[in-house]
Structure 1
Amino acid sequence: MLESLFDIKNDRRLSVYLYRMGFGMWLMYLALGAPALHAYKHYRLDCGVFSVVLMVVGFSASMVFDYFHNREAYEYKKKWLFVSYLVLAGVIYFFIL
């Protein structure tokens, strides 16, 4: 069952799981901004950066699947993959380094 999970060429599940985890980290980012969780505020930036990383990696895995099974969707989303890599590079440069 799990052996096909990492076959991103023929199975879309890994990209969906990565994107969902990225969305969950984004929700944690929002929750950590609440005054009640002020003691954990120092983890907020980590959650935000990890959210962007997970979403971009999930989108990249989805693009591999689309390249082999839905060429029109791949051509349409190709520019957005480049934009997401630029955003990820900007986030890493400005917030991590």
Structure 2
Amino acid sequence: MPRHKDVVFVGSSLRDLKAFPLDARRAVGFQLDLLQQGEAPCNWKPMKTVGKGVYEIRVSEESGAFRVFYVVNRADALYVLHAFRKTALKTETRDIELARARLQEIGATL
């Protein structure tokens, strides 16, 4: 049985996630639970523009499109770097830069 990983929210990511509408919060929570159990989320992609080992959970609900950047390849925890509502077709530079800065906070080395 895989080890259950703790979720560590970096910066304002928990507060930002709590600001999501209820349907999006529930969907993200389900995806994070899958990751904690060692499973892959339903809709994700690597975010090499943020950094090595960073992935994005992609949630589309009636209330909009939401994204969560995370790092799961650390032995100690699953780190949520950034949670935001996607408002443009392409991920905005400010969201990528914020996630990069938070990745540096936890240490970019594996």
TM over 0.5: no
Point out the structure with the larger strand share. Answer: 2
Q: Using CA pairs below 8 Å that are at least 6 residues apart, which structure has the higher relative contact order?
A: 1
Point out the structure with the larger helix share. Answer: 1
TM-score (norm 2): 0.26
TM-score (norm 1): 0.29
